Amino acid sequence: MRKKVHTRFLLVVSVVFIVYLSCLGHLFGSSVPVYRYALERWPSEPYVVTIFYNGKINQQQKKVINYYEKFAGTQGVITLSAIDLSNRPLFGDALRFSQNYIKKKLPAVLVEYPIHSRIKVIVGIYPLNMNSAVQIMESPARRELARRLLNDDSAIFMQIDGIDPKENAKCERIVLKALKQMNVEFKLPHEELGEGATLDEESLKYDTDKLNIKFSFLRISKQSKADKIFIDILLNSEKGLKQIEGPLIFPVYGRARVLFAFSQDGINIENMKDAGAFLVKPCSHEAKDQNPGLDLLLPVSWDNFFKREGDQLTGITSTILDEYKNELFTIENVDLKKNLNIKNETLKKQFLVKLILTLVALIFLFAIVAVLMKKRKS
């Protein structure tokens, strides 16, 4: 009996230490909110654009392909490929396209969601012309999203109108009321640090004095021709959204990452606040894939907007593709973060304290395991 009690005690101590290890990161109170970490650290995943043609492409169509190529490449917002369906054995994407969309007039542009989104449906199939190309890559709503996100909005709650004007107006009132409360009531993680807690290393890279909670609202008509393909991206992202006649709400944060859609009875103050609370909480899952959301297609080279001095993010630089500046985004230069005044000695001290505590915890845990194994043998 004594042996069982002793073993049980060791197991309890082990569990306590495991909990301690899991909470170690919170000892210093992470103060980087999800929305800010996502904007500066989560790369957006490219959409898949495939051009299918049958033998020949004229000069005008080649210009359209050149336009798409501006947004492709290693740091691009799309992956681009062109497939000739004539006189060749078909396999992979070519076979799938010929089987499912053979009635489409060629050449045609197939747009699919990012690979890791695991969304099986397509965004759509569009003609190979400059008008469609520009609408695929950019639109007025996306310009506004980029402008607000780079001007430090925490998130934009975007409304896609339904067919009933009264329902649309009611939805707007509910969301605006929720956002007003959130902007007043919510606090950032560093504002809620416990007594004696200090910022962690990651948080020290940010000028927390200049971080502010700012939720905004953007309303889009489903009938907008200029935003038609952007609306396709949103409505095809979840099953059943196209069939909903009422308004939809999409919270957008980070590098134009949409959380999920709210509809019908789900559009209420409580749900809006829950979404907002997630975005301002400490970013405990730094890996992007561990957080909900879908990257939207915006032709923005996000990394180019942030000037870096080592790991410190000190401001916004120029826009993507100077030659397309007038056609795409003309976002004014905004100074986001400067004069951090964080000493390297403080960073080193925080790191060493964490390292020592982690090593002590690991040694103690190994000792417990050794005792347990010895007891089992005896």
Same domain (yes/no): 8, 145: no
> Could you tell me the CATH number of the domain that includes residue 129?
3.40.30.10
Same domain (yes/no): 146, 255: yes
By percentage, how much of the chain surpasses pLDDT 90?
A: 38
Residue 372: which pLDDT band, with cuts at 50, 70 and 90? confident
**Dist CA 64 CA 77 (whole Å):** 16
Specify if 338 maps to a domain: no
**Dist CA 286 CA 120 (whole Å):** 26
Same domain (yes/no): 163, 216: yes
Same domain (yes/no): 144, 129: no
Q: Are 14 and 368 in contact (CB under 8 A)?
A: yes
Specify if 346 maps to a domain: no
Domain count, the chain: 3
Specify if 343 maps to a domain: no
Q: What is the mean pLDDT of residues 56-76?
A: 87
Same domain (yes/no): 17, 60: no
If one compares 1 and 50, the residue with the highest pLDDT of the two is 50
Same domain (yes/no): 244, 368: no
**Dist CA 199 CA 164 (whole Å):** 49
Cα torsion for 4, 5, 7, 10, to the nearest 10°? 170
Specify if 207 maps to a domain: yes
Same domain (yes/no): 201, 290: yes
- Of the candidates 67, 92, 65, the residue with the CA atom closest to the CA atom of residue 81: 65
Same domain (yes/no): 184, 311: yes
Q: Could you tell me which residues are beta bridge partners of residue 51? A: 82, 109
Q: What is the mean pLDDT of residues 51-70?
A: 90
Residue 129: which pLDDT band, with cuts at 50, 70 and 90? very high
Average pLDDT value over all residues in the chain: 75
Same domain (yes/no): 15, 38: no
Specify if 336 maps to a domain: no
Specify if 344 maps to a domain: no
Q: Tokens at residue 154, please?
A: 């925490």
Specify if 102 maps to a domain: yes
Q: Which helix (H) or strand (E) holds 199?
A: none
Specify if 244 maps to a domain: yes
**Dist CA 271 CA 276 (whole Å):** 9
Q: Tokens at residue 1, please?
A: 């009996």
Domain boundary among 109, 137, 165: 137
CA R_g for the chain: 26
Sign (positive or negative) of CA dihedral 82, 86, 88, 94: positive
For 57, the domain range is 47-137
Same domain (yes/no): 8, 156: no
Q: What is the mean pLDDT of residues 109-137?
A: 91
**Dist CA 78 CA 48 (whole Å):** 6
Same domain (yes/no): 300, 185: yes
Domain boundary among 88, 121, 137: 137
Least confident of 32-36, 108-112, 352-356, 362-366: 352-356
- Of the candidates 131, 125, 127, 128, the residue with the CA atom closest to the CA atom of residue 111: 125
pLDDT digits (tens, 9 = 90+) for 171-211: 999 999 999 999 999 887 767 665 555 555 555 455 555 67
Same domain (yes/no): 238, 156: yes
Domain boundary among 111, 137, 163: 137
